């Protein structure tokens, strides 16, 4: 059962990467978080975007269909890590308020660790730790930026502030749980289920209501990929 869940999680992660690539190619511009826009002075950005998108489509497909997945994972991980360190990290270091730049950096780090983990189980602990750190960060931000996060709660759900605090506590608990061996598996299952629920209840409705906002579509597949990585983390590291 656990191996089946881990396999399903790997597929969810791969589908997310493929979706980022398709979105990048279709829009002729780099997708935020997966690979952010370069400075305006960099020439031929649409061409670069198509190349990066193609790498994500091919890499994600290789993971999904298990065609040299380790090679694909390493290429994707290198691309995501370079993006995180060279583009995401500098503005985050100046963001002492722990705002959105840290969120974007965290997502880049999760994609880096996830690409390695789902293609080589020797890196399972790395992928799990990257996800855990991001969940803890997200949970803290729910308490720090309560009013902003509350606005993201669907209008038909009452008690927006309550659910903001609840989700923040759940994120922190999930992240800490992933780091503790005795609670690792249950935290991974629960965190993945929570993020999948957000895909259905939050991200898909927002994407459909804002079809011209690429970030909303990206958020759908980010949550799916991160849920997949959580479920993959139920497996045991081995060579």
> What does the DSSP assignment read for 23-55?
HHHHHTSPPTTTSPPPPTTSS-HHHHHHHHHHH
Q: Report if pTM > 0.75.
A: yes
Q: pLDDT of 60-85, one tens digit each?
A: 999 999 999 999 999 999 999 998 99
166/116 Cα distance (integer angstroms): 31
Is pLDDT above 80 for 43? no
Mean pLDDT of the chain: 93
Task: Return the DSSP state at 121.
Answer: G
18/226 Cα distance (integer angstroms): 14
Closest CA to 20 of 89, 85, 88, 108: 108
**pLDDT at position 236, please?**
62
Closest CA to 137 of 160, 104, 162: 104
Residue 217's contacts (CB-CB under 8 Å, 6 or more residues apart) are 19, 23, 207
**pLDDT at position 166, please?**
98
Q: pLDDT of 182-236, one tens digit each?
A: 999 999 999 999 999 999 999 999 999 998 888 899 999 999 999 999 999 998 6
Length of the chain: 239
Q: Do residues 23 and 16 touch, judged by C-beta distance below 8 A? A: no
């Amino acid at each position: 059962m656990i191996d089946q869940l881990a396999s399903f999680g790997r597929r969810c992660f791969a589908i997310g990467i493929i979706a980022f690539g398709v979105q990048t190619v279709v829009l002729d511009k780099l997708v935020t978080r997966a690979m952010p826009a370069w400075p305006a002075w960099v020439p031929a950005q649409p061409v670069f975007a198509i190349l990066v998108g193609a790498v994500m489509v091919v890499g994600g497909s290789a993971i999904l269909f298990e065609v040299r997945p380790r090679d694909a994972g390493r290429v994707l991980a290198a691309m995501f890590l370079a993006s995180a360190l060279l583009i995401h990290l500098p503005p985050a270091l100046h963001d002492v308020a722990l705002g959105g730049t840290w969120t974007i950096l965290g997502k880049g780090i999760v994609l880096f660790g996830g690409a390695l983990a789902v293609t080589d189980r020797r890196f399972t602990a790395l992928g799990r730790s990257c996800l855990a750190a991001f969940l803890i960060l997200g949970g803290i931000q729910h308490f720090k930026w309560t009013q902003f996060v509350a606005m993201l709660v669907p209008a038909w759900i009452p008690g927006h502030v309550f659910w903001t605090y609840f989700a923040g506590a759940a994120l922190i608990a999930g992240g800490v749980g992933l780091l503790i061996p005795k609670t690792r598996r249950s935290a991974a299952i629960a965190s993945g289920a929570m993020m999948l629920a957000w895909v259905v209840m939050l991200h898909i409705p927002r994407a459909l209501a804002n079809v011209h906002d690429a970030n909303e579509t990206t958020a759908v597949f980010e949550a799916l990929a991160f849920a997949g990585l959580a479920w993959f983390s139920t497996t045991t590291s081995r060579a």
